[in-house]
């Protein structure tokens, strides 16, 4: 038998192989194209009847919110989008296919919510004022990035009953409620690199006279984390707000709040505030807080207790009231396993007026509550705070620090006060405050490099240097992260999937 193929047979074989290869390549190309999720576009010059392409963009963000499916991304072109209804995403992403709403690189996207009507507070909460101009409910794996939302008569970005909803590098301006709110039923969230300005402002109130829950005070806080589990709030700037800056309240668990710059808020800069159940495992570290009322406050207003709180390496300075305040607000429930270490607490408690009487809250660290157990205060710098550096209420029993295991040890104090104790706080606290330095302390000038310029690094000759007291170690590379190009632009893991 002839083993060689005839030329005609060879031609037919090559043609068949070529045809099969072409079919296979076509199928592969089609399959690859099918798995590449589209990128959509929205523009003020667009039309919702368009295809949503770069050349034919949609006109509204809500069109994108109704269209996007797992893996889709919408780029929103620069300009102002004046909305009359809240934006409400219809679909969720998946673990490997997030849905992304992003401002187009290098362009400023402004969502103006001034035309969104907010009704009266009727029925059961959450009331209309507690909702947001950009509302996400019952969704997951969505990224919101590089958007500016302003002029909301309720909240800015609001999330409920969701998980894996992340906010990167957004800005909110002028909201009656929170700039960013993540509430009950939520877990696994990141709020990174955002700016919140003028939250809780009465300027955005829509009045509804005669309703029982009507209030002229905006609900919630600048950034609100309410009963959320497993969260990170970092590299945000929260400023010029009418209430608290960043609040972890309700029953949040396993949260990290770090590298935030909170300033010029009318109430607490950073707040921990329990309700309903146990609030536990929250860490505040490497934040900068100044020109607020109280710098950092801890309250157990309701619920059984607060447990396992770590406050360390924060810079808290020039706040009108107490630097770090352990409150007895509300029902004053138990606060246990509190660690306060390596903070720099400077010139707090002077109020706004130069009067001979103390501000309503004052001092560096104030133990107003006695409902405490297992508290450690160590390796901090308390410098030039008004009236006292560490103060405690006259409500404490003589041996309470021992029986409650409240340890104050190894701190540096620099105190220019000439005070006879107790200090009478009559305006609001109705308390008599005594001062304490605890054990193994140092009394000396900490020798900051330039505190008037917010440089609280230690000179090499500082008595705090060898002990490694305070938020900024001596001889460390100086990093004023909050003062230069802040917040930083951040990349989300889903953007590389």
Q: Model-level pTM?
A: 0.92
At CA 462, angle to CA 363 and CA 291, rounded to 5?
Answer: 35
Nearest to 130 by CA among 76, 181, 54, 61: 181
151: its two tokens: 């002029």
The CA dihedral of 277, 278, 281, 285, to the nearest 10 degrees, is: 70
Q: Which residues are paired to 258 by β-bridges?
A: 234, 285
Does residue 326 have a cis bond before it (omega within 30 degrees)? no
Domain locations along the chain = 281-489
> How crowded is residue 460: how many other Cβ atoms within 10 Å of its Cβ?
9
Length of the chain measured in residues: 497
| Three-state SS at 203 | helix
- Residues 6 or more apart in contact with residue 202 via CB below 8 angstroms: 176, 216, 217, 218, 242
Nearest to 379 by CA among 340, 405, 414, 347: 340
Please say whether the beta carbons of 344 and 296 come within 8 A. no
Quick one: pLDDT at residue 269? 99
Residue corresponding to tokens 């950034």: 223
List Cα–Cα distances, 304 to 218, 272, 334, in angstroms: 27, 14, 7
Quick one: pLDDT at residue 355? 84
Quick one: pLDDT at residue 18? 39
Beta strands in 200-287 (DSSP E): 223-226, 229-234, 237-239, 246-250, 253-258, 261-263, 270-274, 279-285
- Residues 6 or more apart in contact with residue 373 via CB below 8 angstroms: 334, 335, 336, 337, 404, 405
Burial of 222-252, coded b for 16+ CB within 10 Å and e otherwise, reads bbbbbbbbbbbbbbbbbbbbbbbbbbbbbbb
161: its two tokens: 């009953």
345: its two tokens: 């607490």
Quick one: pLDDT at residue 354? 80
> How crowded is residue 8: how many other Cβ atoms within 10 Å of its Cβ?
8
Residue 379 and residue 410: Cα distance in Å, rounded? 5
Quick one: pLDDT at residue 35? 57
Please say whether the beta carbons of 317 and 353 come within 8 A. no
State the 10-residue block means of pLDDT for the chain, 497 residues long: 40 39 32 64 99 99 99 99 99 98 99 97 90 98 99 98 99 99 98 99 92 80 98 99 98 99 99 97 99 99 96 99 98 98 98 90 99 99 98 98 98 95 95 98 97 95 94 89 97 92
List Cα–Cα distances, 118 to 62, 174, 219, 381, in angstroms: 18, 15, 13, 47
> How crowded is residue 105: how many other Cβ atoms within 10 Å of its Cβ?
9
Q: Which residues are paired to 305 by β-bridges?
A: 334
2: its two tokens: 């002839």
Please say whether the beta carbons of 431 and 393 come within 8 A. yes
Quick one: pLDDT at residue 45? 98
């Amino acid at each position: 038998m002839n083993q060689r193929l005839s030329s005609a047979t060879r031609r037919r074989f090559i043609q068949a192989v070529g045809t099969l290869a072409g079919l296979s390549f076509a199928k592969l190309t089609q399959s690859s194209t099918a798995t590449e999720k589209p990128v959509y576009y929205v523009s003020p010059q667009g039309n919702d009847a368009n295809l949503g392409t770069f050349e034919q963009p949609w006109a509204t963000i809500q069109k994108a919110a109704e269209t996007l499916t797992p893996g889709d991304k919408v780029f929103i072109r620069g300009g102002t989008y004046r909305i009359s209804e809240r934006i409400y995403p219809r679909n969720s992403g998946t673990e490997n296919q997030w849905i992304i709403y992003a401002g187009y690189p290098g362009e400023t996207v402004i969502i103006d919510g001034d035309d969104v009507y907010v009704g009266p507070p009727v029925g059961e909460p959450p009331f209309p004022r507690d909702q947001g101009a950009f509302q996400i409910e019952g969704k997951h794996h969505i990224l919101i990035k590089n958007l500016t939302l302003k002029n909301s008569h309720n909240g800015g970005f609001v999330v409920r009953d969701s998980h894996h909803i992340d906010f990167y590098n957004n800005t909110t301006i002028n909201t009656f409620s929170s700039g960013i709110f993540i509430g009950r039923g939520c877990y696994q969230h990141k709020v990174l690199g955002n700016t919140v300005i003028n939250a809780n402002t009465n300027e955005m109130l829509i009045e509804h006279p005669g309703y029982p829950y009507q209030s002229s005070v905006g609900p919630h806080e600048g950034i609100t984390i309410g009963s959320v589990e497993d969260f990170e709030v970092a590299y945000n700037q929260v400023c010029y707000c009418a209430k608290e800056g960043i609040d972890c309240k309700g029953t949040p668990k396993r949260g990290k709040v770090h590298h935030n710059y909170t300033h010029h808020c009318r109430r607490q800069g950073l707040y921990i505030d329990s309700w309903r159940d146990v609030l536990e495992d929250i860490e505040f570290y490497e934040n900068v807080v100044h020109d607020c009322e109280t710098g950092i406050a801890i309250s157990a207003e309701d619920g059984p207790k607060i447990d396992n709180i770590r406050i360390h390496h924060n810079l808290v300075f020039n706040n009108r009231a107490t630097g770090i305040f352990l409150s007895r607000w509300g029902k004053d429930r138990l606060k246990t396993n509190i660690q306060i270490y390596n903070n720099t607490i400077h010139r707090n408690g002077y109020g706004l007026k130069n009067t001979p009487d103390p501000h309503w809250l004052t001092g560096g660290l104030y133990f107003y509550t006695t409902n405490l157990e297992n508290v450690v205060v160590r390796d901090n710098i308390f410098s030039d705070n008004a009236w006292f550096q560490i103060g405690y209420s006259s409500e404490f029993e003589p041996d309470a620090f021992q029986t409650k295991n409240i340890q104050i040890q190894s701190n540096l104090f620099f105190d220019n006060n000439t005070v006879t104790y107790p200090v009478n706080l009559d305006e609001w606290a109705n308390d008599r405050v005594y001062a304490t330095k605890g054990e193994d302390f140092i009394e000396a000038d900490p020798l900051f490099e330039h505190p008037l310029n917010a440089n609280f690094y230690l000179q090499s000759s500082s008595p705090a240097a060898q002990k490694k007291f305070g938020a900024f170690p001596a001889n460390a590379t100086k990093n004023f992260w909050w003062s230069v190009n802040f917040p930083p632009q951040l990349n989300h893991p889903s953007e590389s999937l």
